[in-house]
Amino acid sequence: MNLALNFASLLLCIAMLDGIVALIPIVGEYYPSEQEALFRLRDSIGSPNLYSNWTGPPCMNNQTRWGGIACSEGHVVHVVLDGLRLAGSLPPLLLNNLTLLTKLSMRSNSIVGPLPELTDLIHLEHIFLSRNVFTGSIPFHYIRLPNLKKIELQENYLQGEIPPFDQQSLVTFNVSYNSLQGPIPQTDVLQGFPESCFEHNSGLCGRPIKKQCPAPAPVPPAPSPSPTHGGKRSFRARDLAFIIAASVLVPFLVILVFLWYYRRLHGKEETAMNAGLHKLSSQRAADPEKAAELEFFDKNIPAFDLDDLLRASAEVLGKGRISTTYKASLEAGVVVAVKRVKDMNGLSNKEFVQQMQLLGKLKHENLVQIISFYNSKDEKLIIYEFLHCANLFELLHENRGSGRIPLNWVTRLSIIKDVAMAMNYLHQHLPNHKVPHANLKSSNVLLHRQGQNHRTKVTDYGYHPLLSSRRSSEKLAISRSPEFCQGKKLTNKADVYCFGIILLEIITGRIPGDEGGEEREAGELSEWVRDVVNNDWSTDILDVEILGTREAHDDMLKLTNLALECTAAAPEERPKMSEVLRRIEEIEQRKSDND
């Protein structure tokens, strides 16, 4: 056994004969392999937030000086590191050295990468890894941890299917708020947990969440009662098959990618937009009477028809969670942005057309103008003015490092004022909308240069009434707001919350969670700012690119306070959009008075 002595007992024993020492059980023993594992843990995810007292031996008998550790008979039995802003990924197999571990808890950190391998930890009872950034699938061997009582994996980014957990000891199980898929295994244990343990995994189905699996539901592989060699061999065979398949597929994919790139370079790409629309044109040819046409709002805009759009060369500008946007260059020289929206096919023709007509009437210099739309049963297009632009997300967060053009304070202030103006306009002109914008985030704030200046325009507004189910609304930025997460009533204050998050991004230069992925970290950004500000206002939170503008620190503080009010957990405590605009204008006014 891997037994060693702590320093004190070593001194005590040094007078003794070396050979005997190892055989006598001595007070203060510890296990270097455990210490080694914890040091590596500290170095890979901890620094600099892990406890400074992680030095020396982790355990002295049943005692420890180490924060977050509990010991029993010289062994580490608990590792509890909740909410320490740990980041980085867990080295694979690392924890297997903690052979007597019963509790592993790292809730509410920012740990990335796959879940840890815990193959040999047969004493493990509690696994609490919720609220992190874990990806990949739930390791299959977790179902063979014989003493598992509680496992909490909710609020991560896990994918794949749920393994068939069937330990009778299991009393708590939560995998909600991930991206898991497939049927919930039909083991007695799993079927016994309530809906809230599985919810918010759009791909899951099964009885606990009252969502039928597409028949015939594949029967999950039964857990083999004890891991036999046979079991292992079949895994190997599967791995092998995978490797063979991959070695065949990879060159094939490389060729595909090359072809795609080649075609892209050489323009005239047949895009999904054209392809999808060709189907329409043939429908139209069959029945010209019935087919919908493009509808225009502004008669001054040079009109074009669906055929023109079909012939246009199209290029993908971006893929979002609810739509794909194309740049379409029509033969007449007109360029437009076409959004092909998903998830709206449950709508009636009337609902869609009414909403589009409402949105088409909106005109504001800080809103991207909708010029037309097209609606048929399986294809919905919204046509916007095209802007040569970058979005705020790219300008704030991309190309950090050398070669980047910094975004100065004055520009940031003017951008945020423009966004506030657009939002205030929406809130006044869509009074019957629960949440007028509903999808405000930095990637929907477009900036195009006009000489020295930026013009700011907000896009993707007014989609909330078009997305009937909660599941599709989850793809909107308002799903970041606390009231949405708690399933409470939504008001226009959800927009104010999203606005507050953009303010925080502008001030701190930090990303409030992963674009395209879940956005729950948005809340963490405001919590973090709140923490820093409560512990004495400090310039620590400011983006380095504006830190140098010392004379504006006061204004930055004012804006930070406004951002914190906007992101208050209770919607009624957030200011109205008109109030937000007024306060930003005040700050801007002061600035120009000082200039």
Ligand X SMILES: *[C@@H]1O[C@H](CO)[C@@H](O)[C@H](O)[C@H]1NC(C)=O
The residue within the footprint of ligand X, chosen from 65, 78, 429, 583 (CB under 6 A), is 65
Nearer to ligand X, 172 or 329 (CB): 172
* Token reading at 214: 């597409």
For residues 445 and 389, give the distance between their C-alpha atoms in angstroms, rounded to a whole number: 10
Nearer to ligand X, 138 or 564 (CB): 138
Q: Please give the single-letter amino acid code of residue 469.
A: S
**CB 103: neighbour CB atoms within 10 A?**
17
* Token reading at 326: 């194309």
The residue within the footprint of ligand X, chosen from 67, 92, 231, 517 (CB under 6 A), is 67
Nearer to ligand X, 146 or 194 (CB): 194
The CB-of-348 to ligand X minimum distance in angstroms stands at 33
Nearer to ligand X, 169 or 594 (CB): 169
Q: Please give the single-letter amino acid code of residue 118.
A: L
For residues 520 and 347, give the distance between their C-alpha atoms in angstroms, rounded to a whole number: 28
The CB-of-478 to ligand X minimum distance in angstroms stands at 18
Interface with ligand X by CB under 6 A: which range of 12-20, 47-55, 316-324, 366-374? 47-55
Restricted to residues 138-157, the positions that interact with ligand X (CB under 6 A) are 154-155
The residue within the footprint of ligand X, chosen from 39, 51, 140, 528 (CB under 6 A), is 51
Nearer to ligand X, 6 or 174 (CB): 174
What pairs with residue 79 in β-bridges?
69, 104
Closest residue to ligand X: CB criterion = 67
- 498 Cβ contact list (under 8 Å, min separation 6): 437, 440, 441, 477, 478, 480, 481
To the nearest 10 degrees (0 to 180), the angle between helices 493-508 and 553-566 is: 150
The residue within the footprint of ligand X, chosen from 136, 146, 194, 221 (CB under 6 A), is 194
Q: How many residues bind ligand X (CB under 6 A)?
A: 13
Nearer to ligand X, 128 or 409 (CB): 128
CB neighbour class for 243 (10 Å; exposed up to 12, middle 13-18, buried from 19): exposed
Nearer to ligand X, 191 or 594 (CB): 191
The residue within the footprint of ligand X, chosen from 6, 132, 156, 176 (CB under 6 A), is 176
Nearer to ligand X, 154 or 323 (CB): 154
195-225 b/e with 16+ CB inside 10 Å = b? eebbbbbeebbbebbeeeeeeeeeebeebee
Interface with ligand X by CB under 6 A: which range of 171-179, 222-230, 264-272, 291-299? 171-179
With contact defined as beta carbons under 8 Å apart, do 556 and 544 qualify? Answer: no
The residue within the footprint of ligand X, chosen from 84, 138, 180, 197 (CB under 6 A), is 197
The CB-of-54 to ligand X minimum distance in angstroms stands at 8
The CB-of-475 to ligand X minimum distance in angstroms stands at 19
Interface with ligand X by CB under 6 A: which range of 46-54, 300-308, 321-329, 399-407? 46-54
Helix then strand then coil, in percent of the chain rounded to 5, is 40, 15, 45
Nearer to ligand X, 150 or 434 (CB): 150
Q: Please give the single-letter amino acid code of residue 177.
A: Y
**CB 581: neighbour CB atoms within 10 A?**
21
Nearer to ligand X, 197 or 446 (CB): 197
CB neighbour class for 299 (10 Å; exposed up to 12, middle 13-18, buried from 19): exposed
The CB-of-201 to ligand X minimum distance in angstroms stands at 11
According to DSSP, the β-strands at 295-296 and 203-205 are: unpaired
Among left, alpha and beta (phi > 0; psi -120 to 50; other), residue 574 is beta
End-to-end CA distance of the chain: 74
Interface with ligand X by CB under 6 A: which range of 45-53, 139-147, 390-398, 522-530? 45-53
With contact defined as beta carbons under 8 Å apart, do 506 and 393 qualify? Answer: no
The CB-of-11 to ligand X minimum distance in angstroms stands at 22
For residues 60 and 40, give the distance between their C-alpha atoms in angstroms, rounded to a whole number: 20
Nearer to ligand X, 198 or 497 (CB): 198
The CB-of-479 to ligand X minimum distance in angstroms stands at 14
- 107 Cβ contact list (under 8 Å, min separation 6): 82, 83, 128, 129, 130, 131, 132, 152
Nearer to ligand X, 128 or 177 (CB): 177
The CB-of-228 to ligand X minimum distance in angstroms stands at 34
The CB-of-194 to ligand X minimum distance in angstroms stands at 5
**CB 64: neighbour CB atoms within 10 A?**
20
Interface with ligand X by CB under 6 A: which range of 191-199, 201-209, 459-467, 587-595? 191-199
Interface with ligand X by CB under 6 A: which range of 136-144, 194-202, 354-362, 418-426? 194-202
Nearer to ligand X, 71 or 312 (CB): 71
442-477 b/e with 16+ CB inside 10 Å = b? bbbbbbeeeeeebbbbbbbbbbbbbbeeeebbbbbb
Interface with ligand X by CB under 6 A: which range of 104-112, 174-182, 239-247, 287-295? 174-182
196 contributes a contact to ligand X by CB under 6 A: yes
For residues 149 and 367, give the distance between their C-alpha atoms in angstroms, rounded to a whole number: 53
Nearer to ligand X, 51 or 140 (CB): 51
The CB-of-75 to ligand X minimum distance in angstroms stands at 17
The CB-of-238 to ligand X minimum distance in angstroms stands at 32
CA distances from 495 to 191, 286, 401, 566 (A): 38, 44, 32, 9
- Map residues 103-142 to x or -, x wherever contact with ligand X holds by CB under 6 A: ----------------------------------------
With contact defined as beta carbons under 8 Å apart, do 5 and 12 qualify? Answer: no
The binding site for ligand X (CB under 6 A) comprises 51-53, 65, 67, 154-155, 174, 176-177, 194, 196-197
